[in-house]
Amino acid sequence: MFSNPIQVLYLFLALCLCIPVHEASHALVAFWLGDPTAKAHGRISLNPRRHLDFLGTILIFLVHFGWGIPTPINPRNLAHPRRDEALIAFAGPLSNLFLAFLLGTLLVYLPADLPLFVRYFFEYTLNLSLVLFLFNLLPFAPLDGSKIIQIFVPKRYRIQYHAYLERGPVLLITLVILDRLLSLFFGFSLFGFLLTDALEYLRVLIGISS
C-alpha cells in the first residue's frame, strides 16, 4: 500500500506512460514482422485506455502486482515464428529500458530548478520503467522472458518447454503469493531484494543514483 495520495497519483501517471510504451512496442514490432493483429486492435497507440487493464491496474495499487492488457499476436503471420515471437517479446522490456535512459538523461541535464512535480513524475516513471524491464525478463509465462528464452531451447526439449509455459501463470502467481507471505510475516521480499539491487545498478548505469 502507499502512504499518501500523492504517491498514488504519481504511480498512476507513470503507469499511463510505461505500460502503453511497453505494449505499443510489442504491437509495433509485430506489425514490422508481418503480423497486423495488434494494429487491427488499435494497439499501436500510447493511449492508456487501450493498454491498461482495470483489474490489473487496481491490483498494482493494492498488492504491488498487476498487468496490462496483453498484446494479441498471431504467430501464423510471422515468417520465423520462434525468432519473431522472441523479438516481439523483447521489444516491450527494451522500450521500458530506453524510456528509463531517456528520463535519466533529462534528469541529469535539465535545469536544477525543474518544477518539483515534473521531477517526481520523471523519477516515478524512470523507476517503474526499470522495474517493468527487469520483472518482464523473468522466465515465467506470460512474462516476456518466457518467450525470449524459447529461441535458446533445443528442438528436442520444445515439448517439455511448451508444457512448462502452460504451467507458467500458476508458477508465477504461486511465487508472488509466497513472496508476499514472506514479506508479511518476515519482512523480507525476494523479488523486492533482487529488483532493488538490480534497480539501483541500472540507475547508476544511466547516471541516476539514490
**Which member of 23, 123, 166, 200 is catalytic?**
23
- The CA distance from 70 to 27, in Å, is 10
Q: Is 200 a catalytic residue?
A: no
Q: For CA atoms 50, 54, 60, 65, give the dihedral sign.
A: negative
Q: Are 4 and 120 in contact (CB under 8 A)?
A: no
b (16+ CB within 10 A) / e for 90-106? bbbbbbbbebbbebbee
Scan for cell 527494451, then name that residue.
94
Would you give the end-to-end CA distance of the chain in angstroms? 22
Scan for cell 518467450, then name that residue.
147
- Kindly state the cell numbers that stand for 83: 525468432
Cβ count near 12 (within 10 Å): 15
- The residues assigned a catalytic role are 23
